[in-house]
């Protein structure tokens, strides 16, 4: 996948020579000089001889699979069509394939072989985006010597990327937007960048152009925790509760997740925390259960019918479950695995310079900010050292 500028139906000079040699004719090039660029467009040879298929067809009309999706992406990238990479081989896909085969001097039968896939891969100058890889995603590509296939994927600081390829002798590189490679984890094919952003996956072949199957998956580093607390949400076993959700729905979900026995164990309280900007202050009602506190804005003297909604989540350490069983220390954790009981030193190792010290009149904390929200790690009234334990984690710092 070359990084030169992309032009519709433009192929490399080496591809032109390959077509000419195989057809027995001479492939002609037309050159158009523009104000700021020169483009070279391949014109099919004038001879009626065409190259027979170099191998079995990779796809046929009516197929629905990842290989079709790869061809659709590459045909659009190289200007042979404007296709949705949905993996379904229909009439538009067939027409684009036949157009590409004709330009390559191949038999225009709509059943492309590996040589066509390789030629399209060499001619495409764009990186292919990968989306929704929380469930493993299978991708087909073709890597050539000095011309890797390049894919992009968005990751958060809390996610681990796992990439495997078949054949396994191909090289896998993951790098950030700064071009610096991400060091792989001890586990083969796993990469944990520790930062958020768009990353590139490069699949390299050091010998011949090679068609490969790539499996990509994204997992949460702290997936072993029952609850994952983030800047604007908390997730239980894949079920997300977000700030702004209605109080009734949140409470029902919490009781359902923790077991109905906790209905008799929760503590409802008024926090005394108000918004000073409102003409009539809003009281914040709290629900404390299982070591978690869910805080809600709602009705107040100025608006007794105002709906309640979730505004803050706090965690102060695990309490026994509905049957009296002790929960594990990491029962609630951040996406990087930090929980109550971890130290400031642990926090710094996990989050680095992305957490910053702060304080209010009564306590010291470290703040992490991302995506319009924050996580606050509290250490009590004394100035914390690296050995100080985290006493509370909350989705908002107390002023």
Q: Quick check: 90 and 48 in contact, CB under 8 A? A: no
Beta strands in 281-391, from DSSP E residues, in sequence order: 284-289, 292-297, 309-315, 332-333, 355-359, 364-370, 373-380
Domain 128-220 matching CATH 3.20.20.70: the answer reads no
Answer whether residue 24 shows pLDDT above 50: no
* Residue 26: pLDDT band with limits 50, 70, 90: very low
Q: Quick check: 2 and 125 in contact, CB under 8 A? A: yes
pLDDT digits (tens, 9 = 90+) for 131-189: 877 778 999 999 999 999 999 999 876 678 899 999 999 999 999 988 999 988 765 68
Q: Quick check: 70 and 149 in contact, CB under 8 A? A: no
Answer whether residue 364 shows pLDDT above 90: yes
SS3 content of the chain, % helix, strand, coil (to 5): 20, 35, 45
Cite the residue boundaries of each domain of the chain with CATH code 1.10.101.10.
Answer: 13-123
Cite the residue boundaries of each domain of the chain with CATH code 2.60.460.
Answer: 227-394
Q: What is the DSSP string of 207-231?
A: SS-EEEEEEEEEEETTTTSSEEE-S
Separation CA 267–CA 81 (nearest Å)? 62
Answer whether residue 271 shows pLDDT above 90: no
Answer whether residue 329 shows pLDDT above 80: no
Q: Quick check: 211 and 142 in contact, CB under 8 A? A: yes
Q: Is the pTM higher than 0.85?
A: no
Cite the residue boundaries of each domain of the chain with CATH code 2.60.120.380.
Answer: 128-220
Write down the CATH number for the domain with range 13-123: 1.10.101.10
Question: Given this structure, which CATH class describes domain 227-394?
Answer: mainly beta
In the three-class reduction of DSSP (H, G, I as helix; E, B as strand; rest coil), residue 146 is classed as coil
End-to-end CA distance of the chain: 52
- Kind plus residue range of the DSSP H or E element containing 74: helix 66-77
Q: State residue 10's pLDDT score.
A: 35
Q: Quick check: 332 and 319 in contact, CB under 8 A? A: no
Indicate the average pLDDT of the chain.
79
In the three-class reduction of DSSP (H, G, I as helix; E, B as strand; rest coil), residue 346 is classed as helix
In the three-class reduction of DSSP (H, G, I as helix; E, B as strand; rest coil), residue 349 is classed as helix
Answer whether residue 76 shows pLDDT above 60: yes
Lookup: tokens for 223: 């997936």
Angle between helices 66-77 and 91-103 (to 10 degrees): 60
Lookup: tokens for 103: 């330009």
Pairing assessment for the beta strands 332-333 and 227-229 based on DSSP bridges: parallel
Distances in Å between the Cα of 189 and the Cα atoms of 76, 136, 170, 176 are: 30, 13, 12, 16
Q: Across residues 104-113, what is the average pLDDT?
A: 94
């Amino acid at each position: 996948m070359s990084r030169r500028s992309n032009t519709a139906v433009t192929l490399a000079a080496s591809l032109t020579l390959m077509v000419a040699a195989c057809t027995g004719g001479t492939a002609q090039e037309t050159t158009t000089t523009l104000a700021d660029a020169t483009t070279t467009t391949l014109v099919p040879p004038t001879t009626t001889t065409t190259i027979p298929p170099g191998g079995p067809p990779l796809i046929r009309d009516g197929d629905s699979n990842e290989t079709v999706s790869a061809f659709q992406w590459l045909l659009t990238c190289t200007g042979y069509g404007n296709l949705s990479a949905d993996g379904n081989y229909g009439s538009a896909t067939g027409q684009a394939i036949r157009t590409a085969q004709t330009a390559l001097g191949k038999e225009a039968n709509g059943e492309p072989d590996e040589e066509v896939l390789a030629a399209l891969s060499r001619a495409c100058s764009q990186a292919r985006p990968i989306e929704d890889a929380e469930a493993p995603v299978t991708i087909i590509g073709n890597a050539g010597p000095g011309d890797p296939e390049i894919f992009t994927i968005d990751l958060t600081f809390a996610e681990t990327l796992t990439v495997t390829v078949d054949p396994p002798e191909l090289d896998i590189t993951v790098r950030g937007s700064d071009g610096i490679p991400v060091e792989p984890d001890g586990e083969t094919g796993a990469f944990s960048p520790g930062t958020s952003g768009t990353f590139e996956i490069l699949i390299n072949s050091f010998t011949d152009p090679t068609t490969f199957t790539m499996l990509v998956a994204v997992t949460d580093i702290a997936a072993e925790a029952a609850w994952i607390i983030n800047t604007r949400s908390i997730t239980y076993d894949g079920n997300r509760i977000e700030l702004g959700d209605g109080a009734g729905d949140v409470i029902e979900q919490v009781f359902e997740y923790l077991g109905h026995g906790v209905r008799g164990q929760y503590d409802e309280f008024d926090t005394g925390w108000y918004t000073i900007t409102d003409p009539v202050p809003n009281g914040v009602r709290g629900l404390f259960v299982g070591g978690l506190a869910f805080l809600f804005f709602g009705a107040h003297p100025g608006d007794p019918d105002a709906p309640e909604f979730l505004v803050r989540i706090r965690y102060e350490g695990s309490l026994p479950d509905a049957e009296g069983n002790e929960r594990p220390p990491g029962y609630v954790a951040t996406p990087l695995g930090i929980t109550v009981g971890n130290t400031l030193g642990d926090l710094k190792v996990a989050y680095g310079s992305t957490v910053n010290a702060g304080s209010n009149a009564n306590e010291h904390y470290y703040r992490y900010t991302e995506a319009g929200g924050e996580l606050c790690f509290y250490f009590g009234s004394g100035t914390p050292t690296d050995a100080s334990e985290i006493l509370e984690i909350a989705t908002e710092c107390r002023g």
